[in-house]
Amino acid sequence: MSVQENRPPGFYTRQEIFSQPEAWQGVLDVLDGAAGMLRTLAGRSNYEQVVFTGCGSTYYLSIAAAAVMQRLAAVPALGLPASEIWLNPSALPPTRRTLLVAVSRSGETTETLRACESFRQSGRGEIVTLSCFPGRPLTSLGDVNLVFPSIREESVAQTRAFSGLYLATIALAALWQDDRSLWQELYGLPAALLPLLDRYGPSLEKLGADLAIERFYFLGSGMRYGLACELSLKMKEMTLSHSEPFHCMEFRHGPKSMVTSDTLVVALVSDERRADDMAVVDDMRSLGARILTIARNDADVVFGAALGEVAGSVLYLPFGQIVALGRSLAKGLNPDHPENLDAVVVLP
C-alpha cells in the first residue's frame, strides 16, 4: 500500500487549501524573475486582443482572467475552452493580432496542447503558457513558458493551483498596463490570507458539513463570475452536490425559482457594486435561502480593504474551497479523489 493510500480522506486537499499563503509566495517569486521578459513581450507587438484558454477549472480561470485584462489594460479579452480554439477556430475573432495565454495545471491536457498548436499554425500572434510542472509538453509550446512548482497538487480537484495560476494572470495584466501599484499589492496577498484561514476556516468547514443544505448557488459578477463558476465546480467535483453559478443579477431571472430553505447562496460581493449585489442577496434571503456573503467589508467572511478590488479578488477562492471540503468529508467522500475524475484528460 502506498503512502498516499495510507492518508485519511481529504488529507491532500486540506493541505493544499491551507498552504495557499506559502504557495502564492512561490508564484510571486517566479513572476518577479520573469517580469522583464513579460514586459518585453507585451511591448514588442501591437496586440489587438488577448485570449485566455484552458479546460475545466482553467477554462473558468480564463473567464476571470479575461475580465481582469480587459478592465485593466482596456484591450479586448476573452476566455475560451481550449477545445473551441482547436476544433472551432472561428471562435476567435478574425484577423486580429492576438496574444494567447494557455493555462494548464498539468501541462499535459490534450485540448490545450492542440489549441496551442492550432493557434501557432494560424500565425496570429504569440503564446504565453502557465503551468505547474517543468518538462511537460505545454512548457515548450509558448514564446514565454512560466512554471509554478509551488502550487503543484496531489489532489485531483484544483485548489491552490487554480488560485496561484489566477494570481499569475492578474500579474500579467498588471505588467501589460505597467500598473506598479497593483503589482505591489499582489505581494500582500500571502500575509492577508494567513490569518483569515485561522479565523474563518473552522466555521466554513462546519457550514459545509451541514447536510441539511441540498443545493448551492454561487453568485459573482464581473471578474468574480469566473470565480463563482470555479467554486461551483469544486462543490460538484468534491461533494457530488447540486451546484450552479450565476451572475448576481441574472439569478433573479428564473433560477431563483429553485430557492428553498435547503439552499445555500454564496455571494462573492463586489465592493464597487455592493448595493446591487446585496439587493439580490436580500431577495434570496426573503425567499428562505441561507446566505454566505464574502466581501472586503460587512459580510459573513470579511477579507478587508487593504487590497484593491482586483488584487483582493484572489481572496474569495479559499473560503468557497473550505466549504466544499467540509461537505465532502461530512458525506463520507474523499475530496482528494472525486468520483469519475482524473487529474488530467489525455486524448488518444
Intervals of the chain under pLDDT 70: 1-5, 44-45, 95, 341, 343-345
Question: If 0-12 CB within 10 Å is exposed, 13-18 middle and 19+ buried, where does residue 135 land?
Answer: exposed
Q: At what angle do helices 316-330 and 189-208 cross, to 10 degrees?
A: 30
- Statement to judge: residues 67 and 156 lie in one domain: yes
The gap between the terminal CA atoms of the chain, to the nearest Å, is 30
In a domain, 336, yes or no: no
Residues 172 and 217 in one domain: no
Q: Residue 242: which CATH number?
A: 3.40.50.10490
**Which DSSP state fits 304?**
-
In this structure, are 14 and 158 located in the same domain? yes
Q: CA-to-CA distance for 85 and 17, rounded, in angstroms?
A: 31
Secondary-structure breakdown of the chain: helix, strand, coil percentages, each rounded to the nearest 5? 55, 15, 30
CA distance 21 to 276: 31
Signed CA dihedral, 183, 188, 190, 196: sign only: negative
Q: Which are the contacts of 275, defined by CB distance < 8 A and separation ≥ 6?
A: none
pLDDT recorded at residue 106: 96
**Domain range spanning residue 221?**
195-330
DSSP 339: T
CB-neighbour burial class of residue 327 (10 A; exposed 0-12, middle 13-18, buried 19+):
buried
**Domain final residue pick, 154, 186, 218:** 186
Q: What are phi and psi of 254, to 5 degrees?
A: 115, -55
Question: What are the backbone dihedrals phi and psi of residue 244, each rounded to the nearest 5 degrees, phi first?
Answer: -140, 145
Q: Which amino acid is at 175?
A: L
- Predicted confidence at residue 1, as pLDDT, reads 36
The domain total for the chain is 2
- pLDDT at residue 4, rounded to an integer: 54
At residue 203, the 3 state secondary structure works out as helix
The pLDDT of residue 2: 43
pTM for this one? 0.95
Structural domain includes residue 335: no
347, part of any domain: no
Residues 274 and 148 in one domain: no
pLDDT at residue number 241: 96
Task: State whether 226 and 109 are in the same domain.
Answer: no
Residue 338: CA atoms inside 13 Å, Cβ hemisphere, count?
A: 23
Instruction: Supply the pLDDT for residue 3.
Output: 45
176 located within any domain = yes
Residue 333: phi, psi to the nearest 5? Answer: -95, 170
Do 158 and 214 lie in one domain? The reply is no
Contacts of 278 (CB under 8 A, 6+ apart): 267, 269, 293
Q: Helix 160-177 to helix 20-44 angle, to the nearest 10 degrees? A: 30
195-247 pLDDT, tens digit each: 999 999 999 999 999 999 999 999 999 999 999 999 999 999 999 999 999 99
Q: Given 158, 186, 214, which residue is the final one in a domain?
A: 186
Could you tell me which of 231, 230, 268 has the C-alpha nearest to residue 251? 268
Q: What is the pLDDT of residue 44?
A: 61
